[in-house]
Amino acid sequence: MILGIDIGGTNVKFGVVDENYRVVKGYSIPTGAARGDLAIVNDIIAQTKKIQKEFTFTRIGIGSPGNLDCDNGVCVRASNLPYNNTPITAMVSEATGVPAFLANDATAAVYGELYAGAGKNFNNIVMVTLGTGVGGGIAIDGKPYLGASGGAGEIGHMIIKYDGLPCGCGQVGCYEQYASVTALIRITKAAADANPDSLLAKLTAKGANGRSAFDAKEKGCPVGAAVVDEYAENIAIGLKGLQWIFQPDAIILGGAISAQGENLLTPIRGKLTNPINLFTSALGNNAGVIGAAVVADKR
């Protein structure tokens, strides 16, 4: 058994994962980021010790966003977590007696899909995570490609429009300004405002979310269908570039919106130049903890 830990800005998830990378039991505690890094790590240790009373595991994998020194198990800093060169794996290992390993959450997601998810039958995959921003990861010859300092796979900051929208990274025209769920919501709101009599406008009267356009399309609304079409086109533009560069066996779309399944994949496939195995994540809500467990197993 391996314990996978997935640190997020809101919750820390724990999963006891068996040798087939299936979650035997899951747990979640609030992150409480405002209390500082040591409080977070102490909560993680306390929860791990509780789980140790119920299960025996031989390794701990920790996935986290932010700037990490994975070789030394140190969380350097992160935009929504109070890291301050926090030696997380040393603290967790010492307190629990179990070796711990650290990985970037995007790397963990690729490991998870490669060994336990939609990428299981492939060696070369590109993972694109559609969320507030766009993240990603690349696996080549069955191994995650990390780049010169572990930061490879920032697909969201690939420029797809040279005079496009400004991005938080300082560039303009980044992929995530068009393919993120944030972008989908922006397009949805604009379409609803421009078509006040549409079903989409009715569905979004109290606020739009990433499902609104898909729901409207399913109920026959042409405005909702047009939003889904535009969003699919935006996603496809980035995927085309990734296909030409990496010639992957498969591209896997992750993030909460991947729950749309074929409703998302079919319109994207129609806009690609070359055919590709295109899947949504097979691990869903467990992707983070399974990925972290796989990292611990493969290190």
Query: Which stretches of the chain bind Zn ion, using CB under 5 A?
Result: 157, 167, 169, 171, 174
Nearer to Zn ion, 76 or 169 (CB): 169
Nearer to Zn ion, 157 or 211 (CB): 157
Contact status, residue 115 vs residue 21, Cβ threshold 8 Å: yes
Nearer to Zn ion, 169 or 205 (CB): 169
| Closest among 9, 276, 287, 20 to 130, alpha carbons compared | 287
Nearer to Zn ion, 74 or 167 (CB): 167
Least Cβ distance, residue 167 to Zn ion (angstroms): 3
Least Cβ distance, residue 241 to Zn ion (angstroms): 15
Nearer to Zn ion, 51 or 158 (CB): 158
Residue partners of 140: CB distance under 8 A and separation at least 6: 123, 124, 246
Strand partners, 26: 15
Least Cβ distance, residue 282 to Zn ion (angstroms): 28
Least Cβ distance, residue 230 to Zn ion (angstroms): 20
Least Cβ distance, residue 170 to Zn ion (angstroms): 7
Least Cβ distance, residue 179 to Zn ion (angstroms): 12
Nearer to Zn ion, 13 or 157 (CB): 157
d(CA 137, CA 119): 12
d(CA 101, CA 103): 7
Nearer to Zn ion, 105 or 176 (CB): 176
Least Cβ distance, residue 254 to Zn ion (angstroms): 19
Nearer to Zn ion, 185 or 216 (CB): 185
Strand partners, 64: 104
Least Cβ distance, residue 92 to Zn ion (angstroms): 33
